[in-house]
Structure 1
Amino acid sequence: MMSEQSIESHRTIAEESAGIAEAVISAEPATRPSYALIATWPFSLAGVGVGAEILAAGGSATDAAEAVVRLIERDPQIRSVGKGGCPNLIGEMELDAAFMDGRTFRVGAVAALQNFAHPVSVARHIMEHCKHNMLVGSGAEQYAAEHDFEQDSMYTPESIKFWQEQYAKIQGGQAQDYLFSHDTVGTLALDSRGDMVAATSTSGYAMKLPGRVGDSPLIGSGFYVDYLIGGATATGLGEDLMKGLVSYEAVSLMARGLNPQEAAVETLNRLVQRLLRARREDESIPKTEKDLPKETELAIICLDRHGNHGGAANHPGFAYAVAVDGAEPKIIEVT
């Protein structure tokens, strides 16, 4: 277990050289709450409210987490998940999602799934009924069709317009916009039985190459949960998040005694410092470009088995939604 002085020194390093922001959270409760639920980004607030109602009524963490993500997947105003998400380079909508049960260690995930309304529900079904952990592309679509999951076009007029504008920029040699590119929904739920789950869903990197898969459906990177310890889920540039196995790393740090807030900060600090070192040592990168590029936005949230939570990010503007034990769902800003 790291000392308080050691933790503070790492925070100082993060703040001064890596720009890691962290959430301000209350002290650890004396007893475990009957439930706790957190999810990335303010757009998750309504979903967290729905999930909290399920948990408050004695429902399972699995049902609550799925409800959170499904609400977001069907909201066309959320431009990075499900309906109306970000198309790939050739205009296809390839969606990724995952589910993990922290008690059974069962995992289900889909990647590059097209034309199904709720990838997270397909991922849950794989977790509960399939001998494999992940299905991709046409295999995932065949599985979803065979099990009668709802099919739907995931395009909206706004997503088509966005693709047309970005494609024109790329064809004209201009840099594309990185708006809406990294906002994965990731949720962690703890129920009254002490069960914990993680669930994620995303349309991934805007204008990505066909077949690209980020961190969100990858166990240990986009999500990880162990009901004996806690869970973590990440959002941001998957190409870099997966290099640090950040969700597994955060849960490992909680197992060693760090609280969720400390684990979130330390995990991102370690990854950012390692990425910076790699860029400094990479002779192919010009000396004037040794800092992390603008698109390297990284964030993580953590929840332990006692209902404590925390979050960290290396960029401004990140926040997460939380509901604990009957309290009104709220947004925690990571500053």
Structure 2
Amino acid sequence: MKRRNFLKNSTLTTAGMLSAPLLASCQGTTKKTIVENDSTKIVKPIAICTWNFMNATAKAWEVLEKGGSSLDAVEQGVMVEEADLNNETVGNGGRPDRDGRVTLDACIMDKDANCGAVLCMENIAHPISVARKVMEETPHVMLVGKGAEQFAYEQGFQKTNLLTEKAKKDWLEWKKNSQYETIINIENHDTIGMLAIDKNGDIAGACTTSGMGYKMAGRVGDSPIIGAGLFVDNEVGGATATGVGEEVVRTVGSFLIVELMRQGKSPQEACEEGVRRIMEKNKDRTDFQIGFIAINKKGETGGYCIHPGFSYRSYSEEGHIDNPSDSFLKV
């Protein structure tokens, strides 16, 4: 597919629903090769994501195991959560803004630093796939609101009512007091960000969210902002974020973490420094959560957060693992 072919008609890239073999793979692992290079173990392929979204990493691994690209893996991986009506922070079924509208944000970035994003888009169930179309079919990086929605229709995406009955009921209950708060580790402001390395050693990333529950109309956080919610440099590694996006934007968090890895820090050390930078600008504040994950070219991973309770899921030949994250603040 040619990049930047703005007028080309194309159809929606779909990711199949989880098959029985795929679900079974959540319980086990498939052997892959660890490449020896100057006595350093390089783990590939591998997929990681924020939080314990095991079905998402299982789908990404299915793509990688078959020799698919890291770009396809991260897109299809996060699509699993976009389609999950029980996930009230991502895609279809996400919590609405305070006016009752479900607006979605997403971005994607490939090994060549190509990237695409949609912001504050309504009525489209898979914003990550629209973001990929923006990357591949337009001369732009970001499309917003009604423009993003219209572009999606032109690309063959179907209009979908994203406000489920449960989300509507919860919103009507919230309206009785209309008190906005970001509860630590409660799914009203979380995201799935995913990073992957394929068999060729190429890195890609994706990030998708419905944003803060009951946010102000038009609010956009860090998730669809390249450099804030997601950043990939194929020579170095990638990083992605979850939590209160405003604080991630202020430090350009994911870009910072990748640059720290470029300077020689491990993914773990870089994530810890990323959180420290945020806390330095928020002295004495403990009322919000941020979680970072990162991966470097070797397939080494790391994760760090402000409050205990964050974890990230990884899938490689070493296993399908939930990795609890250490935290800046302790219990």
Matches of 1:253 and 1:161, distance apart in 2 = 44
1:24 corresponds to: none
Matches of 1:334 and 1:293, distance apart in 2 = 17
Is 1:38 aligned with 2:30? no
2:312 corresponds to: 320
Matches of 2:313 and 2:149, distance apart in 1 = 31
2:22 corresponds to: none
Asked if structure 1 preserves the Cα contact closer than 8 Å seen for 2:112 and 2:234, the reply is no
Aligned residues: 287
Matches of 1:330 and 1:162, distance apart in 2 = 32
Matches of 1:169 and 1:177, distance apart in 2 = 15
Is 1:233 aligned with 2:240? yes
Is 1:57 aligned with 2:66? yes
Structure 1 position 37, deviation (Å): 0.7
Structure 1 position 151, deviation (Å): 2.4
Among candidates 156, 165, 170, match of residue 157 of structure 1? 165
1:234-260 deviations in Å (ceiling 9; x for gaps): 001011110011100000000000000
- The TM-score normalised by the length of structure 1 is 0.83
Matches of 1:293 and 1:190, distance apart in 2 = 34
Matches of 1:181 and 1:85, distance apart in 2 = 9
2:23 corresponds to: none
Q: Which amino acid aligns with 1:142?
A: Q
> What is the RMSD of the two structures over their aligned residues, measured on CA atoms?
1.5
Is 1:305 aligned with 2:297? yes
Give the structure with the higher percent helix. 1
RCO higher in structure (CA 8 A, sep ≥6): 1
Q: Which amino acid aligns with 1:305?
A: K
Matches of 1:109 and 1:211, distance apart in 2 = 16
Asked if structure 1 preserves the Cα contact closer than 8 Å seen for 2:43 and 2:300, the reply is no
1:197-217 deviations in Å (ceiling 9; x for gaps): 110100001111111110000
1:250-303 deviations in Å (ceiling 9; x for gaps): 000000000000000011112211222xxxxxxxxxxxxxx2152x21110000
2:17 corresponds to: none
Asked if structure 1 preserves the Cα contact closer than 8 Å seen for 2:86 and 2:93, the reply is yes
The alignment-based identity, stated in percent, is 39
Q: Which amino acid aligns with 1:153?
A: N
Among candidates 97, 107, 115, match of residue 107 of structure 1? 115
2:322 corresponds to: 331
Matches of 1:177 and 1:232, distance apart in 2 = 23
**Superposed structure 1 runs of 4+ greater than 6 Å apart:** none
Asked if structure 2 preserves the Cα contact closer than 8 Å seen for 1:98 and 1:217, the reply is yes
- The TM-score normalised by the length of structure 2 is 0.84
